[in-house]
Structure 1
Amino acid sequence: MTTRNPFIRLGPADNVVVARADVAAHMPVPDEQTETRQAVPAGHKMAARFIGRGEPVRKYNTVIGFASEDIPPGTWMHSHNIAFGDLEKDYRHGLDYRPTDYVAPADRATFQGIVRPDGRVATRNFIGVFIVGHSGASIARKIANHFDAARLAAYPHIDGVVPYVHEQGSGMERGGEPMALLRRTLAGYIRHPNTGAALIIGSGHDHNPLPAFLDATGLCCGPLLRTVHIQQAGGTRKAIEAGIAAIEAMLDTVDGARRQTVSAEHIMVGMQCGGSDGFSGLSANPALGAAMEILIRNGGTAILSETSEIFGVEHTLTARAVTPEVGRKLVERIDWWLEYNKGRDTQINGRVSPGNNAGGLANVLEKSLGGAKKGGNAPLMAVYRYAEPVTQNGLVFMDTPGYDPVSATGQIAGGANMVCFTTGRGSCFGSVPAPTMKLASNTPMYTRMAADMDINCGVVIDGDATIPQMGQRIFEQLLRHASGEKTASELAGVGENEFVPWPIGVAD
């Protein structure tokens, strides 16, 4: 479609505007009373007025950096002339908190979910094959691969048998936070409502021994939680046979699961963004935020994460924290990351990935500004460490790295039964046992990668939908996917290799 203005103004106080599409040099921009001095790529910024050297650069009336030189109006603005710098932040811990206006329980949205015996609600029904250490990886894959579509045809209510393979469990300290983190991640997946049954494999020489893992996590073996010890089974071939037999004994029970109408309050969404561009913070992220506000009003839960990707705008979350203590807990995690990354060429120290940069994001402040919009304007109710069980409804934060597979793994371990993933450059991410719904930030990428995307938020950029309208569309489609409708990544068979517990503990 033809747009009236090639640039988008996000706020009246902004001194930059964003190009809707590629704009050539010397093109008039009547609304800004200037013309482009250089070509401005789609998603990138143009100076809307003169910006003096050292002056803050404002987008959404938020500082995203400082002019590194005098910048005339019409100039292409990017990392070459926007300097990264320290900001003074007013955390206002809890001062802007406003309670959520909940929908009455009888009037809440519903979906078709699987109610487990303990009352938790699943969106999928998988059998998981887990390893406590990497030495069991090949055996886990062979056991899971045995249960292909032909063998599961008689069990139509089982979504699959999935191997959860990782590279930890050996070569790391035997105690401390790294081992505790690995154990709570594995236990979170084993206990996950979308895991109908589980098989756990140990080798006998893991630094995370199977008996110690069960004892530390409080997991108890039973009809739907079984174990195989490779050495005790008699080696690889016999361990595979024992694992197959163990799963065959669980199939009938797991297949007995049926969907029923349940409240949307049982949906817990892990929010991710990857391959972001200059449009992500304008369309997909705020549209997802609008959808999450609807979910939260209906009693559901949204998990914001990727700690290094909210750096610089964390004060917008602490200000609306339910208590000052919740706000301070978030700042404590930010401080941990700053110390952890001290002296390193990493994102939190300013530099974004090459793909993010090419898409129009100058630095981590600009990326964080867009990323935080996934949470909408809901109050921040709790802050969790990586893979901790999420028990608080509403908008919560989980401390994770920005790397998507690691971050989503922590959210799913915490209980997320759906993942919503925004992307501007085009991500092929998927996940199990919680399915991923992918949101495109712009129409050209959505059209190019339609088989990997679930919904096009680029219509906001095109001027064909508002953020509230897009949020409603996302929420309604989320309910359909939670009810069993396959997402694009599920149809593509993507997700089994994206189980990546945070590898902070490799030491030997």
Structure 2
Amino acid sequence: MVTEAAIRTKPLRIKVHPDDNVAIVANSGGLPAGTVFDDGLTLVDHVPQGHKVALTDIPEGGIVRRYGEVIGTADRPLAKGCWIDEFSVRLPAPPVLEELPLATKVPAPLPPLDGYTFDGYRNPDGSVGTRNILGISTSVHCVAGTVDYVVRLVKEKLLPRYPNVDDVVGLNHLYGCGVAINAPAAVVPIRALQNLALNPNFGGEIMVVSLGCEKLQPERLVPEAYAGEADDTIVRMQDERFTGFQAMVDAIMAMAETHLETLNRRKREPVPASELVVGMQCGGSDAFSGVTANPAVGFCSDLLVRAGATVMFSEVTEVRDAVHLLTPRCKTEAIGRALIREMDWYDRYLAAGETDRSANPTPGNKKGGLANIVEKALGSIAKSGTSAISGVLAPGEKATTRGLIFAATPASDFVCGTMQLASGITLQVFTTGRGTPYGLAAVPVIKMATRKDLSARWHDLIDIDAGRIATGEKTIEEIGWELFHLLLEVASGRKKPWSDHWGLHNALAVFNPAPVT
């Protein structure tokens, strides 16, 4: 085991794969030029924590390899022991989609993991929630202020009378009018809004607040099964029966109370872990993400799949450059082609905006040691574990199969989170190397730090410290099991992640690739 004192004094580096010609510096604060490692490697430059050091001389144009994969070519001759930053590495071409192998290395099923349960809420449609929440959908952003006002009133005046209801959440968004409602790409935000209302944590209680004149008419957000009950599910503020704002508020409050009465009858009951639907996401990634937190999440993903649960990983631009490692894992060629379809759709989406995947890494990602999107993607897909990919969802589609699923979303934290909610997650795991207070009101978000430094500084925002893997205090498997058990506790309502403790919840950000008029 590496001690804390060694972390502070002994020069440490992490090489991921035997074929790598770079390693990352593990020491807090980095290491100065002249530092000598146990094997004689001497640093030519100061190398910040998480940044890469050349393990051999790399000529200009030579391959730079991490995770056993090419992350780029040297922009200039790179001497052994030098610091390799984002300016040192040229971005390579992405994998050619038409040449990818499909279902050629499908992993054998892992042994079943039986006997694990959580206390969840069974719904009439067969789904299971981890929370009991009244979700108030909106058909247009015009009513967002009204819904916020009503949510405050419901929390103050109604919720105390319904102790079995955890919360009330307004599903506000920026869509609904001033948009090309019939444009082909409009299917994405409309589908997402329809499915957000059906998230299992809302118990099947559909409630929509509408203005009345918007392009996205509220009936489109109400499932067909509820069509005959529109009077119990939709309030239109422009309805001529209302005289004054208070009359509108009273109508919304009355409808809310009807749904609260139903939700209050929901009770937690033991259900198998197979009923979990967990989203895996990363944000504020750094060079440790693919070494500590994401591999631990990947191990937990395999545990969940073994238990029969549903696991989603996402973020197209953080998959695109590693997709050649995923298409062979697809259970069937059809699933592989669906994965390629989503990569191709996003390639064309970025091209239409006159940009490409290189726009993804943030300044924080680079400060944390990530040279480019290729290196970021190779670390990101570690969240998917080793299981076969059993399904692919277009943005905002609802999951209908179990196992490991790729749910196509943008990499933006808040957009990805919103779209995973639409796809039906009831819990989310969020890994970070730079730190973020991110959270969602509709589902609990468990945050895992990649580094001990971050976990110590953000001790009351980070739920699990995966930095212990880098120090040798814990293994990937041990942190993976720790996360698995925490998921069951949080799903059962016995533990709160820090984001829920503080009430740190991001606004919804529905992905809209269609024109705004």
Q: Do both proteins adopt the same fold according to a TM-score greater than 0.5, normalized to the shorter chain?
A: yes
Cα pair distance change 1:299/1:174, threshold 3 Å: same
Q: Does 2:217 correspond to 1:209?
A: yes
> What SS does structure 1 have at the residue aligned with 2:214?
coil
TM-score by length of 2: 0.93
Matching residue within 187, 192, 204 for 1:185: 192
User: How large is the Cα RMSD of the aligned pairs?
Assistant: 1.9
1:386-443: CA deviation from partner (whole Å, max 9, x where unpaired): 1111011111101111111111111111111111100000011111312111111111
- Residue 213 of structure 1: how far off its partner (Å): 4.1
Letter in 2 for 1:259: R
Quote the residue 2:496 is aligned against.
486
Q: Secondary structure at the match of 1:341?
A: helix
Distance in 1 (CA, whole Å) between partners of 2:217 and 2:130 is 31
How many percent identity over aligned positions? Answer: 31
Alignment of 1:36-435 (within 5 A): 36-87=43-94, 91-103=100-112, 107-148=114-155, 151-196=158-203, 197-214=205-222, 219-220=226-227, 222=229, 226-232=233-239, 233-234=241-242, 236-342=245-351, 346=355, 348-349=357-358, 352-435=361-444
Q: Is the 8 A contact 1:347 1:364 kept in 2?
A: no
Deviation at 1:492, TM superposition (A): 1.2
Partner of 2:72, secondary structure, is: strand
Q: Deviations over 1:140-175 (max 9, x none)?
A: 111111122564233222111111111110111122
User: CA 1:505/1:275 → structure 2, altered by over 3 Å: closer, same or farther?
Assistant: same
CA contact (8 A) 1:279 1:424 kept: yes
Question: 1:34-69 CA deviation, whole Å, 9 max, x = no partner?
Answer: 201111111111001111111111111111111111
State the alpha-carbon separation in 1 of the partners of residues 415 and 354 from structure 2. 19
Structure 2 residue runs of 5 or longer lacking an equivalent are: none
Give the counterpart of 1:26 among 3, 19, 34.
34
CA distance in 2, matches of 1:203, 1:176: 22
Q: CA deviation at 1:506?
A: 4.0
Deviation at 1:224, TM superposition (A): 11
Worse-matched range after superposition: 345-354 or 151-160? 345-354
CA contact (8 A) 1:113 1:483 kept: yes
Does the 8 Å contact 2:11/2:31 carry over to 1? Answer: no
Q: Which amino acid aligns with 1:322?
A: K
What is the identity, as a one-letter code, of the residue corresponding to 2:380? G
Q: Structure 2 vs 1, CA of residues 83 and 343 (structure 1 numbering), >3 Å: closer, same or farther?
A: farther
- Aligned 8 A contact 2:448 2:466 in 1: yes
In the TM superposition, what is the alpha-carbon distance from 1:237 to its structure 2 partner? Answer: 2.9
Q: Please give the per-residue CA displacement for 1:358-407, whole angstroms capped at 9, x wherever unaligned.
A: 11111000000110000011111111101111011111101111111111
SS of the residue 2:196 aligns to: helix
Is the 2:179–2:515 Cα contact (8 Å) retained in structure 1? yes
CA change 1:329–1:66 in 2 (3 A) is same
Distance 1:345 1:26, change over 3 A: farther
Moved more, 328-337 or 18-27: 328-337
TM-score by length of 1: 0.95
User: What is the deviation of 1:249?
Assistant: 2.3
Deviation at 1:231, TM superposition (A): 0.9
Q: CA shift at 1:459, angstroms?
A: 0.5
- 2:508 maps to 1:502: no
Contact 1:439 1:455 in 2 (8 A): yes
Distance 2:12 2:35 in 1: 9
- The answer (yes or no) to whether the contact 1:10–1:60 under 8 Å persists in 2 is yes
